[in-house]
Structure 1
Amino acid sequence: MTLIVGPWDFLQKNKMDGRGDMGLFGEHFDPCLVGRIKEDGYESRSGSDNIEGASGEDQDVGDDQRPRKKYNRHTANQIQELESFFKECPHPDEKQRSELSRRLGLESKQIKFWFQNRRTQMKTQLERHENVILRQDNDKLRLENELLKQNMSDPICNNCGGPVVPGPVSDEQQQLRIENARLTDELGRVCALANKFLGRPLTSSANPIPPFSTNSKLDLAVGINGYGNLGHTDNMLPMGLDNNRGIMMPLMKPIGNAVGKEVPHDRSIFVDLALAAMDELIKMAQIESPIWIKSLDGGKEVLNHEEYTRTFPRIGMKPSNFVTEATRVSGVVLVNISALVETLMDVNGWVEMFPSLIARAATTDIISSGMGGTKSGALQMIHAEFQLISPFVPVRQVKFLRLCKQLTEGVWAVVDVSIDANQENLNAQAPVTCKRLPSGCIIQDMNNGCSKVTWVEHSEYDESAVHQLYRPILSSGRGFGAQRWLAALQRYYEGMAMIMSPSILGEDQTVINLGGKKSMLKLARRMVDNFCSGVCASSLHNWGNLVAGNVSEDVRILTRKSINEPGEPDGIVLSAATSVWLPVSRQRLFDFLRDEQSRSHWDILSNGGMLQEIIQIPKGQGQCNRVSLLRSTAVDADAGENNMLILQETRNDVSGSQVVYAPVDIQSMSVVTSGGDSTYVALLPSGFVILPDNSFSNGEPSNSDGNPVKRDSDSNNGGGSFFTVGFQILASNLPSAKLTVESVETIHNLISCTMQRIRTAFN
């Protein structure tokens, strides 16, 4: 007699495997399936195991003396052959089963029941998939029902914003009640379908976003992922939508401060996309996540693409010329969690936190403003331009969703995910060159005024648009990676703390009060923004590309006209920028450029004199991060005196270094330092950006001409540097004037001579 292994044995095995209380079959298992299994007279343990039962004589033997079951596991080759045939024909006839039996050396019944079990597994997986979707639809309907109830019980006047005086039931209220009843009835039907194991497939459940498990959890226990003191493992969080602690996101129309016109789209698709992105971010932020592995040198973490693809199956194909970059980093930021969350969800504050990283950004739509007066559940649509300060890296134009959610007490998450053009029902006017995969940060309150931030950056971009020299920087994550975002965030809040420090004394003991510091920092911020715009050609200014036959191919020259714009000189402005690789360590090159004593070695406009720092405003830890006001010791022979000062900002952290400066007149700066308005101070900035290059595993780097660059002894400690230089000059003070060859040659010679002087200084 053949021993039959019933479905409850299979269910018990799934429980032991950790598949939940319902296993693969769920709570409401169809008993008809048992009858069909018994009629076949044989059942395998799984799709790849067989059991030889006891003989008829052994059935009278007691349980203690009964021989143990013998398992015959299929070989890997047999399973592979069966799987291949199953994909083509899941219901083989007797002839096909006989052929498989002969070819694989298995009995015909083994073949028959392997296919039967395999079909059962596929069916249960499909039902589990539909159950997850039905639970999500259930929660959405419940949420809409609650919103309708709230609107009916506490109506607000659209004109004055006050409560509506009770009166006769209007036609609109009557329609809402009818709609409410319809949704209630539909919710009941959805619940009934979700509780049935063998329900018909629902075409309305088709969802382009892969659903995430409602049992996914983020382990926040102490000592497991380093998030700090959050108590015991009871703080583990259920993700997705559940009945008690799921995220509630009221769908709203765009409010008055949303930039741009309302985009015609199905908002439920955006909610699904944002929730799936939040689930992915949380899983990627877990310290022990197998998605991240250590690099070969044991240093930074790198993405395990195989594990990532298995955990988050991709929908659609990645373009052939697109590559992936992914990084993760953690650190402490000097700000409380509520202030950080508020700033991240305010697009203007977000741009302010990341100078040199974000060129421009605007909120195009607000889908949800949050729940209970907090930002939890807030969902926005944002359009932003990300930049790496080099003419060799194009600006990244990205439109994405941003979702904020409170995971538990003292732990928040903010996630971004790109929106495709077809998701907006819009025709893309330009090809997409960058896609922001789920990226963002997990923020934990440290209860001391600081926050621990785990930042994840993940994107795909068109590598063919990037210059060969800078491709290693982007692929390694040093261009737009998490380390750069976190370093900018830490530096910003360190600077905010410095601003509130006691008043600064100038060289002549003049007190620079808080108003003067803020005005001077605002002017420096505009200077840096204008410099980055001139190097990267962002849309902050309306730059036009200038092609000239006498200009080197590795130098990009841009031009724009300025007419009656505050803070801009009237006329035609030229900007020139280039990037090279230098065999000099980043720190040594930065110290050389920011040293007032060595300024005359490279600054053509210094007239051979040294510079003296008369005002200094710290913007972070150390002496390298600061805004300074410099005065030249050289005297103009024609004027008899020098009435110009130099405003300069220097920045140095693990992600790179930056020196930006611009000449300003003394009268304007006296107004600024006393707390006056800096909006009308005209600036034409110039400067340098240095990125470290600590990796030479792929050979010597190449310059813009494609020739390899040789290292000297200085680069042995700290590697070389990717060096960008940019200048802006006023070619003519008449906007209607035409550019001359002399103006183009002037700025080209300026950048060439400066580069040559720097090279000469380092031999």
Structure 2
Amino acid sequence: MSESHQINLDMVNNHNSPLENELDIVSNDEVERRSGTDDDNAVEGDSAEDEDVNQRPKRKRFHRHTLHQIEEMELLFKDCQHPDEKQRKELGQRLGLDPLKIKFWFQNKRTQLKTKNERSENSQLRIENEKLRLENMKYKEALSNCTCLSCGGLPAIGEMSFDEQHLIIENARLKEEIDRISGVAAKYVEEPALTYPHHLSPGSSSRSFGLGSVINLTSQSGSHGLIGEMNGAAGADLLRSVSVPNEADKRAIIELAVAAMEELIILSHAGEPIWIQNGDNNFSETLNEDEYQKTFYQGLGPKPLNFRSEASRESAIVIMNHLSLVEMFMDVNQWSSIFAGIVSRAVTVDVFSTGVAGNYNGALQLMIAEFQLPSPIVPTREVYFVRYCKQHTDGTWAVVDVSLDNLHPNSMPSRCRRRPSGCVIHELPNGYSKVTWIEHFEVEDRVVNNIYRSLVTSGLAFGAKCWVTTLDRQCERLASTISNNIPVGDVSVITSAEGKKSMLKLAERMVKSFCIGVGASTAHTWTTLSGSGSDVVRVMTRKSVDDPGRPSGIVLSAATSIWLPVPPKRIFDFLRDENSRPEWDILSNRGLVQEVAHIANGRDPGNCVSLLRVNSDDSTQSNMLILQESCTDSSVSYVIYAPVDIGDMNSVLNGGDPDFVALLPSGFSILADGPNSHGDGGLIPEMIGMSGGSLLTVAFQILVNSVPTAKLSLGSVATVNDLIKCTVNRIRNALGCYNALT
């Protein structure tokens, strides 16, 4: 290598700043030799191989750039690190430099910048590498000192399965969570924090879902009263002998709840042999009792003598978010409102836990509920149970109920008890959820009326299908309520979304009031009157005082249930049609009935809320308004209506508060007569055995005196009796059933 080239390399190695003694690193001879070329990748100081190494030329004189030249080239470098030939020529003319010198200056400047960046990156990588090395040493030390959570010895990680490792980690996490919650609760209540058991007792289920994993045993309601609103009476009959559990009872309740949750999950996924497919009735599958007894921990003990089992499973996709469903099931008021046709009343007795992490995961509460059929002649089912909610590792939620009769067997005699029942909720896209429902009763119901016996003993009356179809229908109704769409039509009087919502809210209260009053619930303050003149018509009375939702005075209720040899759908379509209303509605006085507002609230055309106007020649009935809701699903149908004041209804249609509109709902409930679709009650002997029969309940509420302190006359009772008998006979005649009710 020539001496000039050697000097150039030394100068590059010692170069630190472009502003300090900037030298041209290319000799003058080299510039002349390379002129006319434009290779950006040229390397300065290329040696000539044909030059005699023994002959060294004289040291060349190197050009030092001026400060002005360096500043100008620095400015251009900031904007363009690779100037083209034209830019180099223009800069050379302006600075008095050869373009090739400028080219090599930029090349060396780029090399300098690259080297500087690499040094900075290397320094940063060394720092990160040191941090990782220290963390690695820390983890190695922690692993060498860890102990087994079960035995306290050194863990043999390599010998454990993945599932076993996962369970150990999960148990440790749950234990920490439980201890934390227990400690927090102890700060706010006087009771000491409890130590939670981490395994079921020897006699319990062998498959644990994490006993007490998110359950706080400290009672949150204590003696501060009941949570939820009881319908009718204060509920003292349901709460007799039921007290807040002691600590021993709480532990037993938690074991039962956890085992029930495990059973619910297994039953929701199981097939044969636990569930047996049936093709000879309306059930798709029934529970194999023998297999059930072998598989599950019998926390409630054996089935009592003279009790029979009802077990069913049903699934549906509903239009509601999974978290909204969980919230609805865990709020006793929302739950009883949504299932008003099934739950005549419900109350939360005590709350062990409200859940953790801001949701209902781990919520556990003691409840009492009364389940009914919409008929006054079918006894209700009264159950004291624990409800447990849990989110599982796959993201599904489950809510399970199980009776607590075995806690104090002699405290509250019952004709039924509920083995693990409830639902598993899977999240679906677009706000939908898949709900799988399990309903499992053990019941003694020898007092069921004959015309309902087939329906009740088959399990259709209180089975999973009733819950799922009701939930699906109510979710559609809620979706319609929150929608801002305004119904359109030639005669619709609804002009705003607020008016639509107020009308739907008023109809919802009307339906709930009807369902509560039509059944045989023991919560009613209604009194059955003697001397009503008939054993098939039930007449009761109550005094309404200071109730903004009811007219003040004495209200008389009359209800009866009959069997008709007509399919349920035909009866439903007949009763809900405003054109056929004059055929059965005595109060309309055969006047013309016109629909002036219509709100669809479900897929079925029969699911709707209507406002009807009755045009009658009778001045007292002229321009009367009737609010009506009709709803139907595969298990039950309703047509419920109530006369409304024109002024009150105008306020509702303008978005006013519907809670102060006085209503006395009347109407009909329609059920299929059983899995074989025929009646066997003996009312119409010649029609027994015909398929497609229905069970129709007719109920009226009438204000007989506007003075609450007035005495009820026998004449009023006879009038209501005649009204309901006449209505039933008209319906039977219109449907072609000519045998009158006697």
Per the normalisation by structure 2, the TM-score is 0.68
Partner of 1:576: 558
Cα distance in 2 between the residues matched to 1:595 and 1:539? 34
Matched, 1:311 2:267: no
Matched, 1:708 2:685: yes
SS in structure 2 of the partner of residue 744 of structure 1: helix
Cα shift at 1:586: 1.0
Check the 8 A contact 1:701/1:708 in 2, yes or no. no
Cα distance in 1 between the residues matched to 2:546 and 2:723? 27
Cα distance in 1 between the residues matched to 2:365 and 2:497? 34
Matched, 1:297 2:280: yes
Matched, 1:212 2:205: yes
Check the 8 A contact 2:175/2:213 in 1, yes or no. no
Q: Describe the superposition over 1:43-68 as per-residue Cα deviations: whole angstroms up to 9, x where unpaired.
A: xxxxxxxxxxxxxxxxxxxxxxxxxx
Unpaired segments of 5 or more residues in structure 1?
1-26, 29-135, 160-171, 195-204, 215-238
Cα distance in 1 between the residues matched to 2:434 and 2:666? 36
Check the 8 A contact 1:506/1:512 in 2, yes or no. no
1:259 aligned residue (226, 231, 238): 226
Cα distance in 2 between the residues matched to 1:425 and 1:142? 37
Check the 8 A contact 1:381/1:400 in 2, yes or no. yes
Check the 8 A contact 1:263/1:424 in 2, yes or no. no
Cα distance in 2 between the residues matched to 1:645 and 1:653? 27
Cα distance in 2 between the residues matched to 1:649 and 1:414? 30
Partner of 1:423: 407
Check the 8 A contact 1:534/1:728 in 2, yes or no. no
Partner of 1:372: 357
Cα shift at 1:141: 12
Check the 8 A contact 1:440/1:455 in 2, yes or no. yes
- Number of residue pairs aligned between Structure 1 and Structure 2: 551
2:548 aligned residue (566, 571, 578): 566
The 5 Å alignment of 1:125-204 reads: 147-148=178-179, 158=188
Cα distance in 1 between the residues matched to 2:503 and 2:493? 15
Cα distance in 2 between the residues matched to 1:574 and 1:155? 50
Check the 8 A contact 2:469/2:635 in 1, yes or no. yes
1:594 aligned residue (549, 558, 576): 576
Partner of 1:344: 329
Cα shift at 1:252: 2.6
In structure 2, do the counterparts of structure 1 residues 757 and 143 end up closer, same or farther at CA, with 3 Å as the change threshold? same
Cα shift at 1:538: 3.1
1:606 aligned residue (588, 594, 605): 588
Matched, 1:741 2:718: no
Letter in 1 for 2:586: I
The 5 Å alignment of 1:468-487 reads: 468-487=450-469
Check the 8 A contact 1:321/1:464 in 2, yes or no. no
Partner of 1:381: 366
SS in structure 1 of the partner of residue 510 of structure 2: helix
In structure 2, do the counterparts of structure 1 residues 520 and 447 end up closer, same or farther at CA, with 3 Å as the change threshold? same
SS in structure 1 of the partner of residue 430 of structure 2: coil
Partner of 1:111: none
2:504 aligned residue (490, 510, 521): 521
1:657 aligned residue (621, 637, 640): 637
Check the 8 A contact 1:582/1:722 in 2, yes or no. yes
Q: Describe the superposition over 1:671-719 as per-residue Cα deviations: whole angstroms up to 9, x where unpaired.
A: 111111222222121111111236449xx633365x635169xx65xx1
Moved more, 538-547 or 382-391: 538-547
Matched, 1:437 2:411: no
Check the 8 A contact 1:282/1:442 in 2, yes or no. yes
Cα shift at 1:148: 4.8
Check the 8 A contact 1:291/1:304 in 2, yes or no. yes
Partner of 1:688: 668
Cα shift at 1:731: 2.3
Partner of 1:69: none
1:496 aligned residue (449, 456, 478): 478
Matched, 1:753 2:726: yes
In structure 2, do the counterparts of structure 1 residues 446 and 145 end up closer, same or farther at CA, with 3 Å as the change threshold? closer
In structure 2, do the counterparts of structure 1 residues 540 and 709 end up closer, same or farther at CA, with 3 Å as the change threshold? farther
Cα shift at 1:447: 2.7
Matched, 1:629 2:611: yes
Cα distance in 1 between the residues matched to 2:308 and 2:591? 48
Cα shift at 1:144: 7.3
Cα shift at 1:483: 0.9
Partner of 2:213: 247
Check the 8 A contact 2:181/2:216 in 1, yes or no. no
Cα shift at 1:502: 1.1
Cα distance in 2 between the residues matched to 1:343 and 1:293? 32
2:375 aligned residue (378, 386, 390): 390
Q: Describe the superposition over 1:455-481 as per-residue Cα deviations: whole angstroms up to 9, x where unpaired.
A: 111112221232122121112222111
Matched, 1:329 2:302: no
In structure 2, do the counterparts of structure 1 residues 307 and 423 end up closer, same or farther at CA, with 3 Å as the change threshold? same
- Structure showing greater radius of gyration is 2
Cα distance in 1 between the residues matched to 2:508 and 2:454? 29
CA-based RMSD of the aligned residues comes to 3.3
Cα distance in 2 between the residues matched to 1:144 and 1:264? 24
In structure 2, do the counterparts of structure 1 residues 404 and 155 end up closer, same or farther at CA, with 3 Å as the change threshold? closer
Cα distance in 2 between the residues matched to 1:737 and 1:688? 29
Cα distance in 2 between the residues matched to 1:155 and 1:465? 47
The 5 Å alignment of 1:106-121 reads: none
Cα distance in 2 between the residues matched to 1:424 and 1:353? 31
SS in structure 2 of the partner of residue 465 of structure 1: coil
Check the 8 A contact 1:390/1:536 in 2, yes or no. yes
Q: Describe the superposition over 1:356-376 as per-residue Cα deviations: whole angstroms up to 9, x where unpaired.
A: 122222222111111222221
In structure 2, do the counterparts of structure 1 residues 433 and 405 end up closer, same or farther at CA, with 3 Å as the change threshold? same
SS in structure 1 of the partner of residue 446 of structure 2: helix
Letter in 2 for 1:333: V
Cα distance in 2 between the residues matched to 1:141 and 1:358? 40
The 5 Å alignment of 1:50-89 reads: none
Q: Percent identity?
A: 46
Unpaired segments of 5 or more residues in structure 2?
1-149, 152-166, 228-241, 737-742
Q: Describe the superposition over 1:280-304 as per-residue Cα deviations: whole angstroms up to 9, x where unpaired.
A: 1112111424221122527521121
SS in structure 2 of the partner of residue 647 of structure 1: strand
Partner of 1:674: 654
Check the 8 A contact 1:685/1:728 in 2, yes or no. yes
Cα shift at 1:721: 0.7
SS in structure 2 of the partner of residue 457 of structure 1: strand
SS in structure 1 of the partner of residue 309 of structure 2: strand
Cα shift at 1:414: 0.9
Cα shift at 1:505: 4.2
1:269 aligned residue (252, 255, 262): 252
Check the 8 A contact 1:580/1:703 in 2, yes or no. no
Cα shift at 1:306: 1.5
SS in structure 2 of the partner of residue 498 of structure 1: helix
The 5 Å alignment of 1:278-289 reads: 278-289=261-272
Cα shift at 1:338: 1.6
Cα distance in 1 between the residues matched to 2:359 and 2:549? 38
Q: Describe the superposition over 1:432-468 as per-residue Cα deviations: whole angstroms up to 9, x where unpaired.
A: 1221111011111123321111111111222123212
SS in structure 2 of the partner of residue 382 of structure 1: strand
